[in-house]
Amino acid sequence: MPELRYILCNYSYADYSISISPAIERGLDEKTVPSTVVLNVFSTDSITSGYLDDPEKAIALDYCRRQGIVVRRRQNTGGAVFGPRGGAFLCFYLEPVRLGVPLTNIKDAFRISLNAIADALRELWGLNAQYRPLNDVEVEGRKVVPSSARLERGILSLRLMINVVNTDRDILRKAIITIPEKVQDKQIKDLGQRFTCLESELGRKIEVADLEALARLTVSNIFGQEMALTPGALTPQEEKYFAEYQDRYNSEEWFFANSERLRFKDAPAEARKTEGCQKAVAGLIRVTLLARDHKIRDLIITGDFHPSPYGVIKDMEDALRGEPCSLAVVRRKLEEIYARPGVEMAGIEVADFVSAFAKAFEQAS
């Protein structure tokens, strides 16, 4: 009988994201661990900021510290994400070809897994759950299971975030910093109109046993009833990787890598700091400059957009450092980078960056 390792754990959303998940992925990549299903029930409130963002500008760190909210910086891009205590991840770490399952591309992985958990929600509790492409499950039009996926070197990492408990909107409002540029092009709606949770839908507390039943039925719906879930734990090697990632990604050097406190710590007193923000289709662009004598002495480009590869942002900074505060120069340098093979900026145009620089230059003049 085919089997998957099954791990039940209770790390915070943030610590699971930066340490446990990559530890399992690394073990699977090295072929030292089997394909694995993890149910992680979040032990405490936590928030992550994206790889390219400045946590000091995305998250109210003092507020989170007072409230005991765990804050980490992720290894992937995007905006700040809040994981409440009692929420859950149902995660799959698989080698689809070896398992002989049709999850060999991201689109099919989302379709099959999210239809499976939607079916399980209907079968277990009668919820009118439906898969909404590309990567959500909704109940009556409200999101209950968002998801993310990555497929690299034949290894699929699929993370289904189950909205189990109500998210305190006051905490979200106070913990996550939202600047006007971020929301200027959209009508802000009440979270209750866009999201729901299992406890609200069922009118009762959801226990770990309920989530385990949901996990097992979802696995059966994906792989068939013949697939066994074998209880297990992290291997000693995975535990070692987990400890390494905790040390690395909890360090101040990592957390504040995009922050002014580290990047501008040696800034000369005569340099003027300015900042410009621009909301593009794919997210917020923030340009922070140190200008002197009409030249860019130093700069930091941050935000919640998704460049590929990530290192292209450093290339932009390096290309513009020391150049005149000129929009024509900015445009020319960025167009050269955009034209490189393999560079992708979905939803972000050169003009979006130029607009952010224009706002920063205006303050510097």
- Taking the C-alpha atoms of residue 62 and residue 226, their distance in angstroms, rounded to an integer, is 50
Evaluate whether 160 touches 143 at the Cβ level (below 8 Å).
no
Do 217 and 270 belong to one domain? no
Indicate the pTM of the whole model: 0.85
Among 344, 351, 302, 297, CA closest to 325: 297
197 and 328 housed in the same domain:
no
pLDDT level of residue 53 (50, 70, 90 thresholds): very high
**Res 313: pLDDT:** 96
Single residue among 255, 290, 323 that ends a domain in this structure: 255
Q: Distance (Å, rounded) from C-alpha 218 to C-alpha 285? A: 38
- CA 111, 114, 116, 121 dihedral sign is negative
pLDDT tens across 292-327, in order?
999 999 999 999 888 888 899 999 999 999 999 999
CB 191 within 8 A of CB 85: no
Q: What is the CATH number of the domain that holds 231?
A: 3.30.930.10
Same domain, 306 and 203: no
User: Is the same domain home to 248 and 287?
Assistant: no
Higher pLDDT, 158 or 78: 158
pLDDT (average), residues 168-178 = 89
Amino acid 182: pLDDT: 57
57 lies in the same domain as 40 = yes
**CATH no. for residue 359?**
3.30.390.50
CA 70 from centroid of its chain's CA atoms: 15
pLDDT given at position 322: 96
In a shared domain, residues 98 and 129: yes
| Backbone torsions φ then ψ of 303, nearest 5 degrees | 150, -170
Same domain? For 168 and 228 the reply is yes
Q: Can you tell me the distance from the alpha carbon of 328 to that of 336, in angstroms, rounded to the nearest whole number?
A: 12
Report the distance separating Cα 78 and Cα 48, nearest Å.
Answer: 10
pLDDT score for 342: 87
In this structure, the chain runs to a length of 365
Please report which confidence band the pLDDT of residue 184 belongs to, taking 50, 70 and 90 as the band edges.
Answer: low
Cα separation, 358 vs 9, whole angstroms: 48
At residue 171, what is the residue type?
I
If asked whether residues 200 and 51 sit together in one domain, one would say yes
- Band (162; pLDDT cuts 50, 70, 90): very high
Q: What is the DSSP letter of 206?
A: P
Query: Mind listing the pLDDT tens digit for each residue in 190-231?
Result: 545 678 999 999 999 999 999 999 999 999 999 999 999 999
Q: Which domain holds residue 285?
A: 264-364
Is the domain of 39 the same as that of 182? yes
Task: Provide the strand spans (E) within 46-152.
Answer: 46-49, 70-73, 81-83, 88-94, 129-132, 136-139, 142-152
3-state secondary structure of 38: strand
> Which domain-ending residue is among 255, 272, 305?
255
Provide mean pLDDT across the span 51-63.
95
Residue 172 pLDDT grade (very low, low, confident, very high; cuts 50, 70, 90): confident
Element (H, E) at 277: strand 272-280
Same domain, 286 and 242: no
Last residue of some domain: 255, 283, 309? 255
Structural domains counted in the chain? 2
Q: Which residue has the higher pLDDT, 364 or 65?
A: 65
229 lies in the same domain as 311: no
Claim to verify: residue 145 and residue 243 sit in the same structural domain? yes
Confidence (pLDDT) at 104: 77
